[in-house]
Structure 1
Amino acid sequence: MRKLVYLFFALSLSVSAQEQIQMQAKDSTHLKAKAIFGVDTFGTLYYATDDNTFNKKTKDTTITYTNFQLGEITTANAFNPLKINLFYHDFNTVVILDNRLAEVFKIDFNTTQPYKNVSFISTGFDNTLWIFNQDLQQLELYDYKSNTIRLKTVPIQSDILDLKSDYNNCYMLTEKYLYVYSYFGSLIAKYPNDGYESLAFSKAHLALKKKDKLYLLSKNTDEIKPILHPNLLISQFLVTNETLYIYHDEILRQYQLKPE
Structure 2
Amino acid sequence: MRNFILFFSLLLNITSWSQEYVSIQQLDSTKFKVDEYIGKDNLKNDYFIYKNAIKKKSADQEYEYQNLSLGNIEKICITNPLQLVVFYEDFNALVLLDNQLNETQKIYGNKFETPIKIEAFGLASQNQVWLYDGFLQKISLYNFKSNINKIISTPLNTEIKEYSSDYNNFYWITKELDFFSISIFGKIKNIGKIPEYDSIQIIDNNKIIYSKDQKIYYYNTNKPSAQKIDINKKSFEKFFFNNGILSIFTDNQIINYKIDLP
- What's the TM-score bracket when you normalise by the shorter of the two chains? 0.7 to 0.9
Q: Which residue identity is paired with 2:259?
A: L
- Matching residue of 1:252: 254
2:237 is equivalent to residue 235 of structure 1: yes
Q: Which residue identity is paired with 1:253?
A: I
Structure 1: 4+ residue segments shifted above 4 A: 1-10, 201-205
Distance (whole Å) between structure 2 residues aligned to residue 21 and residue 217 of structure 1: 10
- Matching residue of 1:88: 88
The question of whether the paired residues in 2 share the 8 Å contact of 1:164 and 1:199 is answered with no
TM normalised by structure 1 equals: 0.86
CA-to-aligned-CA distance 1:138-194 (integer Å, 9 cap, x gap): 332222333333342333333322221121332212222122333323234512132
1:110 match: secondary structure: helix
- Matching residue of 2:188: 187
- Matching residue of 1:178: 179
Assess, with a 3 A threshold, how the Cα gap between structure 1 residues 15 and 156 changes in structure 2: closer, same or farther: farther
Question: Number of aligned pairs?
Answer: 257
Distance (whole Å) between structure 2 residues aligned to residue 136 and residue 258 of structure 1: 40
The question of whether the paired residues in 2 share the 8 Å contact of 1:21 and 1:225 is answered with no
Unaligned runs of 5+ in 2: none
> Deviation of residue 227 (structure 1)?
3.0
Distance (whole Å) between structure 2 residues aligned to residue 94 and residue 160 of structure 1: 19
Matches within 5 A, 1:1-260: 7-8=8-9, 10-49=11-50, 51-176=51-176, 177-201=178-202, 206-217=208-219, 222-223=222-223, 225-229=226-230, 230-260=232-262
CA-to-aligned-CA distance 1:89-128 (integer Å, 9 cap, x gap): 1211000011122211101112222111111211111211
Q: Which residue identity is paired with 2:29?
A: S
1:90 match: secondary structure: helix
CA-to-aligned-CA distance 1:33-79 (integer Å, 9 cap, x gap): 12222312432112110x21111111212111110101211111122
Unaligned runs of 5+ in 1: none
Distance (whole Å) between structure 1 residues aligned to residue 155 and residue 7 of structure 2: 50
The question of whether the paired residues in 2 share the 8 Å contact of 1:70 and 1:91 is answered with yes
CA RMSD in angstroms, aligned pairs only: 2.6
Assess, with a 3 A threshold, how the Cα gap between structure 1 residues 214 and 183 changes in structure 2: closer, same or farther: farther
Give the percent of matched residue pairs that are identical in Structure 1 and Structure 2. Answer: 28
Q: Which residue identity is paired with 1:71?
A: G
CA-to-aligned-CA distance 1:188-232 (integer Å, 9 cap, x gap): 4512132134433557954223342323246xx723632321243
Assess, with a 3 A threshold, how the Cα gap between structure 1 residues 180 and 12 changes in structure 2: closer, same or farther: farther
2:154 match: secondary structure: coil
2:12 match: secondary structure: helix
Q: Which residue identity is paired with 2:149?
A: I
Q: Which residue identity is paired with 2:244?
A: E
Distance (whole Å) between structure 2 residues aligned to residue 149 and residue 6 of structure 1: 65
The question of whether the paired residues in 2 share the 8 Å contact of 1:95 and 1:105 is answered with yes
